[in-house]
Structure 1
């Protein structure tokens, strides 16, 4: 049996390891045009910041590939011949397979404005993006980062740390409205401005203005204002890295994700898909990719089991994530709807859903707990470190708000450095 895996990120690597664990004699080939070895993509920002090396982001020693007898192909795939069970590479080479896993991840959403693409306009998703941005940042004078999500704030931080003045342009009226309510977004925005970032909220980009030689001069904003820049980063989201599948036998969603069933099988025989590129069913019944490191890992393992013939079905578990806004820790778990607009007007998420919220005076620290009735269903914490596992356990155990508040200090990671959690007089449930 020959298993081919297109993509050697966390999804593809976890699948390969499980396949080898279960089938000692199978042929397993990892295909990637990005890098010979699996590296931690979330750690790329630290490579760009000069805090670590790319080699240090590789979780496994390089000898693992030989021990596991993984074959590696460093070529770009041009198309998939599904009826012929083959990958077709640029340059006419081909690789046959018995079963194929597509774990090709995502790429930066292309900038839609006049003046793009072009020199000095970058993304920050792939290793190639990092290498190109690194070269430009060494000679850049001023940067504009466009986009109000996690990638945008990471890029703003590392460009600022490298000495470039940074303007951060956010289309929405508050930062990261998919995950933060008005109070939380204000806290994060204050924190970014405290670090020297020029944050512009509720501003739309009109075009990338360029010098006669083609280099960026500024980002033109709707209304006529200009944000000077010789380096522009578009951090406006990601799209499935599936352009090479256009016209293939695989069914793609309108957004380009690969349609899969509950066992992560595609519409083509002997082809599976998992990770950022796969369209899966969410708890609310909607279908879209899950663009998280944790879920890519889990889907890779489940796809491998499905390829081995196990009776499996992917079910999205309780949501959790963690990240940093500069040095501001963020931990989230469960369902955490946005209940408060940037202007403090309430948003109705449905019957009997409320938020308990407090912010520590004089500090960039807050806690928000979402309840349905008296049962806790979600957590959103800023400014300190928390262990997501007990938080998820309490959601599954249907704990009450009063019980959680009494025990919340047990989930603190950094209690030796941070004051023990306590309920403040200013805390409110609403």
Structure 2
């Protein structure tokens, strides 16, 4: 049996490891045009900042591939012939497979602004992006970073640390509306400004200005569409030498146009609950269109869901009947040195139009911010039946549950400090009351580098 996995990221690597655990004799081939070894993409910012070497971001020693007999192909796939069960590479050669997993991830959403294409425009998704930006990010230069998500903040942080002047442009009325409410987002913006970032909210890039020689000169800003935010005085044009576009990612599936696979509107690969896209073809990770709890279908673009989908896809490829069901939501991040942890169901605003998500009449939150500090906790509670919006957003896993008491905790948004998501998830799944949680809130806060209670030994891959 020959398993071919296209993609050497967390999803593809987890699938390869899972396949080898269950089948010691199968032929397993990993295809990637980016890097010979699996590395942690979320750690790229530390490589750029000079705090780590690229090899330091590789979770497994390089000898693992040989020990587990993983074959590697360092080429870009040009075409999939699903009927003939073969892949054609850009160099012209082909490779056959018995079973195929597409774990091709995503690529940066292209900059849509007039004048954007040309020198000085950068992205920050792949290793090549890092190398290109690294060459031009010199102290004393001026950078504009566009995009109201996590990648934009990472880029702003590392450019600022290199001595660049950084303007951070967000078209929404507040930063990261998909995850933060207005109180939290304004605190984050305040925190970024305290570090020296020029944060512009509610504005959009209308045009990228270039000089006669094509060199980047600046960006012209205007009111973001579908918002009422006024353009700040003097903000109409921002000079810059670097422009980083961090407005999201799209599935990296352009090579599948003639494959016969079903692609969703945004390019994600349609799969069933077993992550099967076609006979003997599976897809997982950022490139797969999976079913959410409300029945809608869209990709899940998170590290841990890519990991989980890789494991499920491998089990499905081996025929064990595995299906993918995401558990209770959680995630963590940092805004410069401000820690962020979220778990469960948290009402947010939806995408570009700032439309508020109606949490229903039985949903409320408990919020506090420590005076004079960048530190807040928001705990979401529900009463009566599980609100329809809770089920729609996939905050709780499994079938509808019995009625909740009026103060049952269903979600957390925590800024500042470090919080153990396992404790937070246990409180949600155990249907704890707000009073119970508040009495024990300190039990969920920890610093894993310093606390022996939470220090764990790293897991060992199969040998």
TM-score, normalising length from structure 1?
A: 0.93
Task: State the alpha-carbon separation in 2 of the partners of residues 160 and 378 from structure 1.
Answer: 33
User: Within the alignment, does 1:411 sit opposite 2:444 as a pair?
Assistant: yes
2:327 corresponds to: 317
Secondary structure of the 1:222 match is strand
Q: Do the aligned residues in 1 keep the contact of 2:177 with 2:349 (CA within 8 Å)?
A: no
**Aligned residue among 247, 254, 279 for 2:258:** 247
Secondary structure of the 2:163 match is coil
| Alpha-carbon distance, 1:408 to partner | 1.2
Task: State the alpha-carbon separation in 1 of the partners of residues 267 and 139 from structure 2.
Answer: 36
1:393 corresponds to: 426
2:249 corresponds to: 238
1:259 corresponds to: 270
Task: State the alpha-carbon separation in 1 of the partners of residues 139 and 428 from structure 2.
Answer: 49
Secondary structure of the 1:175 match is coil
1:88 corresponds to: 88
User: Within the alignment, does 1:301 sit opposite 2:311 as a pair?
Assistant: yes
| Alpha-carbon distance, 1:64 to partner | 0.3
Change (3 A) 1:252 1:366: same
1:291 corresponds to: 301
Change (3 A) 1:251 1:406: same
Secondary structure of the 1:204 match is strand
2:340 corresponds to: 330
| Alpha-carbon distance, 1:416 to partner | 11
Task: State the alpha-carbon separation in 2 of the partners of residues 103 and 128 from structure 1.
Answer: 19
TM-score, normalising length from structure 2?
A: 0.87
Task: State the alpha-carbon separation in 1 of the partners of residues 327 and 185 from structure 2.
Answer: 26
| Number of residue-to-residue matches in the alignment | 413
1:62 corresponds to: 62
2:404 corresponds to: none
Task: State the alpha-carbon separation in 2 of the partners of residues 135 and 3 from structure 1.
Answer: 38
Q: Do the aligned residues in 2 keep the contact of 1:140 with 1:231 (CA within 8 Å)?
A: no
Q: Do the aligned residues in 2 keep the contact of 1:148 with 1:236 (CA within 8 Å)?
A: yes
| Alpha-carbon distance, 1:118 to partner | 1.4
Q: Do the aligned residues in 2 keep the contact of 1:140 with 1:230 (CA within 8 Å)?
A: no
Task: State the alpha-carbon separation in 1 of the partners of residues 196 and 47 from structure 2.
Answer: 22
**Aligned residue among 336, 360, 372 for 2:382:** 372
Task: State the alpha-carbon separation in 2 of the partners of residues 139 and 243 from structure 1.
Answer: 37
- Supply the RMSD in Å over aligned alpha carbons: 1.8
2:227 corresponds to: none
| Alpha-carbon distance, 1:339 to partner | 7.9
| Alpha-carbon distance, 1:237 to partner | 0.5
Mapping 1:86-235, distance limit 5 Å? 86-138=86-138, 141-222=141-222, 225-235=236-246
Task: State the alpha-carbon separation in 2 of the partners of residues 63 and 93 from structure 1.
Answer: 27
1:37 corresponds to: 37
Secondary structure of the 1:402 match is helix
- Which digits, 9 at most, give the CA deviation of each residue in 1:323-380, with x for residues without a partner? 000000000001111389xxxx997411301110000001000000001121111000
2:456 corresponds to: none
Change (3 A) 1:144 1:346: closer
| Alpha-carbon distance, 1:215 to partner | 1.7
- Which digits, 9 at most, give the CA deviation of each residue in 1:122-181, with x for residues without a partner? 111111111111111137710000010000000000000000000000000000000000
1:426 corresponds to: none
Deviation beyond 4 Å, 4+ runs, structure 1: 415-418
1:427 corresponds to: none
Task: State the alpha-carbon separation in 2 of the partners of residues 92 and 348 from structure 1.
Answer: 53
1:425 corresponds to: none
Q: Do the aligned residues in 2 keep the contact of 1:339 with 1:349 (CA within 8 Å)?
A: no
Unaligned runs of 5+ in 1: 419-430
Unaligned runs of 5+ in 2: 224-234, 384-406, 452-463
Secondary structure of the 2:65 match is helix
